Amino acid sequence: MDANVPSETLQHQSKLMETISKLFNNNQLSDINLMVNCKLALKAHRFVLAVHSDVFKSMLDSERWPDSVDHVVHLTEDEDCLAHFEEFVSYLYSGTITLDTENVLPLHVLSEKYNVQELRESTQSFMLVNVTSPSTYNHAITWHKYANLIGLRQLEEECLKFITWNTNTVIKSPDWTLLEPYQLSALLQRSDMVVEDEVVLFQALVSWLSLHPNYAEEMLAHIRYPMMPPEKLFDLLSPGSLPDSIASYLCRESLLVYQAHVLSMETISQRNNMAANPFTMRIYTSERFSQVWDISGYKTMNKIALSKCLSTRHFQLKTEWNVNYSPKGHQILNYTHHIYLPEVVQDDDFSTLTVRLGSCEPADMKHTHKICILLYQCINSQWFVGDVQTLEVPHTGEAKINDLIPLSKRDRYISNGTMKVHLITQTNWENEEEI
């Protein structure tokens, strides 16, 4: 084109999309009717469907599918997808759709079935971002089951991580009772589950069993009864508090609970394997074993070391824990030679955390100590566990994490100038045969 000739490029895509959008479910130029599950009827246009979906294109090819010569195409969809099929087809006309935690999975199913790539990728990304939804809207369990079924490995891993680390949130969601038996069995056997205490987990299991009573014996066997606080166990055994079959099972286990909190571990170990799951702690967030550390004013904080002392009691064992943490790093100055111009001995951004036992009584027990550090992220004004780090703590000396939260990741764990760290203490006994 001659550069001297006047020219102008017109950009009317938005007007074109608006025009096409108006054709959705419109008799104007409609050349096909979609009948879904014999319930939902939609006016459609072969061209629009075929352009966005090679599956529709193949279906509507009269040579490949003789039924397509008819003006009515019958489709069969899952009932959960039926409620969202109309907005799915509307998206094909407009390219616009609003995703939420209720419609995203059905829309992913439909986009997967009809190979609508952009929508499939967008719905998958939405689920990845919104795994950490408040309990009322949380669908991590359903999304995990679906991701496992069709091979969405990243989504599957993120959902499992969230379920394991935020069990207190998940058990309050409507999704909890939808857990498949294989999912629940695997979850109950994990020691890295973050939950308030074993009684809270037991009560959540009772809720699940109300809809799956045939799995009672199998699932109840995975509860770690010695970990139950005796006073809470006493309340659970109040007449009428539990279904008779579950109450009977709990009664059989209650003797060991009371024994574990009254007798010495040497005595208990004569009849029990102390290294087995029933005596292995999960990551309990109750005040018995943990302390939340809200570090406020982070943005204006200097590079200083903070200290926290914890006192815990597990069965007959009393333990004192001393924790030091430098949330922003270290700056150490030497004033020896130049009072007004101190020498910088150390200046770094490493958020070092060190742990030392102050005391452990009785000290002759065959046991080990561990501390779990939960790092919280604030999402939609709610705090969720975003990472868990563990540290073996010796009886003498100190244990250290050189950089608990690297500087490049630190912002994600700060909200309104506050960093929330949760210190969870654990004590586990060794089996005498292994010593």
What is the edge-to-edge ordering of all strands in the sheet holding 398-401? Answer: 306-314, 317-325, 353-361, 398-401
What pLDDT is recorded for position 167? Answer: 96
Structure tokens at 146: 């679906």
Per-residue pLDDT tens, the chain, 435 aa: give them.
Answer: 566 777 677 666 776 666 666 766 667 777 888 999 999 999 888 888 998 999 999 888 765 555 555 678 889 999 999 999 999 999 998 888 999 999 999 999 999 999 999 999 999 999 999 999 888 899 999 999 999 999 999 999 999 999 999 999 999 999 999 999 999 999 999 999 999 999 999 999 999 999 999 999 999 999 999 999 999 999 999 999 999 999 999 999 999 999 999 998 888 989 999 889 999 999 999 999 999 999 999 999 999 999 999 999 998 899 999 999 999 998 776 766 656 666 666 778 999 999 999 998 876 668 899 999 999 999 888 999 999 999 999 999 999 999 999 999 999 999 999 999 999 999 998 765 544
Cα–Cα distance measured from residue 413 to residue 351, given in angstroms and rounded to the nearest whole number:
13
Three-state secondary structure of 115-184: CCHHHHHHHHHHHHHCCCCCHHHCCHHHHHHHHHHHCCHHHHHHHHHHHHHCHHHHCCCCCHHHCCHHHH
What pLDDT is recorded for position 12? Answer: 60
Burial 396-420 (b: 16+ CB within 10 A, else e): eeebebeebbeeeebeebbbeebbb
Cα–Cα distance measured from residue 132 to residue 111, given in angstroms and rounded to the nearest whole number:
23
What pLDDT is recorded for position 336? Answer: 65
Give me Rg for the CA atoms of the chain: 30
**How distant, in Å, are the alpha carbons of 113, 145, 148, 150, 413 from that of 156?**
19, 8, 6, 10, 23
Closest by alpha carbon to 156, among 111, 186, 195?
Answer: 186
Cα–Cα distance measured from residue 177 to residue 210, given in angstroms and rounded to the nearest whole number:
9
- The model carries a pTM of 0.86
384 secondary structure, DSSP code: E
Burial 382-392 (b: 16+ CB within 10 A, else e): ebbbbbbeebe
Q: Tokens 């919104």 belong to which residue?
A: 130
Cα–Cα distance measured from residue 163 to residue 172, given in angstroms and rounded to the nearest whole number:
12
Cα 1 vs. chain centroid, distance in angstroms?
59
Cα–Cα distance measured from residue 277 to residue 254, given in angstroms and rounded to the nearest whole number:
16
**Domain architecture of the chain: domains with CATH:** 13-129 (3.30.710.10), 142-279 (1.25.40.420), 284-434 (2.60.210.10)
